[in-house]
Amino acid sequence: MRFDVLTLFPQMFEAVLGDSIIGRARENNILEMNFIDIRDFSTNKHRKVDDYPYSGGGGMLMNAQPVYDAYMSVAEGLDYKPFTIYMSPQGKVFNQGIAIDLANYEHIVLLCGHYEGIDQRVIDEIVDMELSVGDFVMTGGEIPAMTVIDTVSRLVPGVLAAETSYENESHFNGLLEYPQYTRPAVWHDKPIPDVLISGHHAKIEQWKREQSLINTLKKRPDMLEKAELTKEDIKFLKEYK
């Protein structure tokens, strides 16, 4: 899978996405990532990429021309249009479901805004989706773009050791993940649940499901309204409450 990021701060990405699981996937050519500096496409001798908005008010707006030319440096010559996402506080709020959909694309371009945003004309021309990472405003789209790349990348086959590494995680199936434990079996006089060392796989799986339901009920009850619950799940939750 290929990611191209259009940004004013390409150096920020390598520090975050050059190590650990994502870094290894890049080394193994499972993921390709290119960080394109929009300033390289400025026609201004000072590499200026912003100007005052016609609407007035405070702040500066990124010009359409350098953004478009940076995009065309990626898209020109391709026999398809790469799926292009603008990281914006006005966008749809990013979640696991969107990440799963995006993982089906072979090539994604992420556009990172700065200042008061980007000239709407270039957004209209190249952007397929606007995404936000939450109902708040950040100084730029770089950190949100990293969030999207990291979340989507780990869903790409081969990035994680096995699909089960993410299929049981929080949000993947509409519930929060069950609590997990490791050695020692007793720590600070607190033992792990007996079922986990029972060797009874069916009971362990039942315990995991029930603990996911409890975790979601306690921490994110709003998620239960959208989760696909079985009759057994509903019965368990009623008895637990």
> Binding-site residues, please?
113, 133-138
Cβ atoms 27, 82 nearer than 8 A:
no
**21's tokens:** 């699981």
Rounded CA gap, 95 and 98, in Å? 5
Rounded CA gap, 48 and 222, in Å? 45
**133's tokens:** 């990472």
> Binding-site residues for S-adenosyl-L-methionine, please?
113, 133-138
**211's tokens:** 């603990």
Cβ atoms 88, 117 nearer than 8 A:
yes
Domains along the sequence of the chain with CATH: 2-153 (3.40.1280.10), 168-240 (1.10.1270.20)
Question: What does the pLDDT profile of the chain (241 residues) look like in tens digits?
Answer: 999 999 999 999 999 999 999 999 999 999 999 999 999 999 999 999 999 999 887 799 999 999 999 999 999 999 999 999 999 999 999 999 999 999 999 999 999 999 889 999 999 999 999 999 999 999 999 999 999 999 999 999 999 987 655 555 666 678 999 999 999 999 999 999 999 999 999 999 999 999 999 999 999 999 999 999 999 999 999 999 9
- Candidates 73, 185, 204; CA nearest to 126 is 73
Packing angle of the helix pair 231-240, 201-219 (nearest 10 deg): 60
